[in-house]
């Protein structure tokens, strides 16, 4: 096996390990490197079947790369400060308050009416 092939395998392994460990920024760097290395291998290869295999590998790695980018983006959204001190405070309903027709969920039944029992 060529040195380039071994390097691609090692970098793909490191990208996956970094992603599994939650080190998404490092994983993204490794994935970008792997995609560039695969692209270089495709340009150097003259064998059509080998180019096709590299193309399949590139698509699979690109898909993994997109998954990790999505995870990283989602985490960044969670970390963003969403507190707005100028927003009005939420009004909490009093315990036992019956919801009005506008706030009542139509899929939830109302509580049963009490039965008067003479004892």
Q: Measured at the alpha carbon of residue 14, what is the angle toward residues 57 and 32, in degrees to the nearest 5?
A: 55
Q: Where does 3-79 sit in CATH, by number?
A: 1.20.58.80
Greater confidence (49 vs 93) lies with: 49
Each residue of 3-14: pLDDT tens digit?
899 999 999 999
Over range 84-104, report the average pLDDT: 63
Asked whether the predicted pLDDT for residue 87 surpasses 90, the reply is: no
Separation of alpha carbons 75 and 70, rounded Å: 9
Each residue of 55-86: pLDDT tens digit?
999 999 999 999 999 999 999 988 876 666 67
The pLDDT, as a whole number, for residue 39 is 96
- Whole-angstrom CA distances from 28 to 64, 71, 77, 80, 102 are 10, 11, 17, 20, 48
SS3 84: coil
Q: How confident is the model at residue 96 (pLDDT cuts 50, 70, 90)?
A: low
Query: Domain ranges in the chain?
Result: 3-79
């Amino acid at each position: 096996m060529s040195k380039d092939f071994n390097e691609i395998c090692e970098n793909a392994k490191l990208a996956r390990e970094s992603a599994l460990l939650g080190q998404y920024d490092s994983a993204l760097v490794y994935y970008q490197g792997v995609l560039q290395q695969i692209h270089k291998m495709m340009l150097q290869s003259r064998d059509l079947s080998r180019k096709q295999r590299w193309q399949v590998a590139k698509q699979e790695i690109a898909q993994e790369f997109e998954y990790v980018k999505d995870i990283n983006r989602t985490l960044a959204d969670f970390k963003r400060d969403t507190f707005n001190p100028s927003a009005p405070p939420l009004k909490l309903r009093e315990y036992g308050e019956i919801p009005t027709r506008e706030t009542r969920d139509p899929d939830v039944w109302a509580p049963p009416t009490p039965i008067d029992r003479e004892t």
